Amino acid sequence: MVLLASSLLAISCATVNVQQEASSVNRIVDEWHQAAAAADEARYFGAMAPEFVFLGTDAGERWDLASFRAFAHPYFAKGKAWTFTPVHRNVIVHGDVAWFDESLSSESYGVCRGSGVLRRIGGAWKIAHYNLTIPIPNELAKEFVARIRATAPSSK
């Protein structure tokens, strides 16, 4: 009986810890989006891990931390970066790594999707990878694929 009670307590504590960690991840990602909306460059880039990679909506957009900061700095310097409002997010935490996917709302781009990976560095969650996409409904996919192919440089 004592073994069963101990096991149940351990499972309960582990569940609470995972929920607390997921809440921490949610808070970090929410604050990251808020920092962009407020054009708070220091807070925005302070949430990122040194190995951060950002994949943008264009196929050629793959930035490491330094190149993404160079790209983004002029927007932040003007006091207007970008606003993506989280609508829904799923978070999975496993030890010192967490990953998530989220639905976002954007005045400029409409419904968007983001996914990312965080890792714990010195006790703090940092965003190591983020991928922003614009989901295309399946019934429109062939049309968009044809349009993309028509504008892509020839590989011949």
pLDDT score recorded for residue 3: 57
- Domain coverage including residue 59: 2-151
Q: Which two tokens stand for residue 19?
A: 């929920």
pLDDT band at 17 (very low <50, low <70, confident <90, very high): confident
Query: What pLDDT, in 10s, does the model give residues 113-148?
Result: 999 999 999 999 999 999 999 999 999 999 999 998
User: What is the identity of the amino acid at 89?
Assistant: R
The DSSP code sequence of 42-86 is HHHHHTEEEEEEEE-SSTT-EEEHHHHHHHHHHHHHTT-----EE
Least confident range from 17-21, 25-29, 104-108: namely: 17-21
Model confidence, pTM:
0.85
In a domain, 95, yes or no: yes
Does pLDDT of 69 surpass 70?
yes
Query: What's the whole-number mean pLDDT along residues 1-8?
Result: 52
Distances (CA, A) of 71 to 105, 106, 111: 22, 20, 23
Please, which pLDDT band fits residue 152 given cuts at 50, 70 and 90?
Answer: confident
pLDDT of residue 55: 98
Q: How many domains is the chain built from?
A: 1
Q: Decide if 156 is inside a domain.
A: no
In a domain, 25, yes or no: yes
Residue 12 maps to which CATH number?
Answer: 3.10.450.50
Residue 18: the pLDDT is: 80
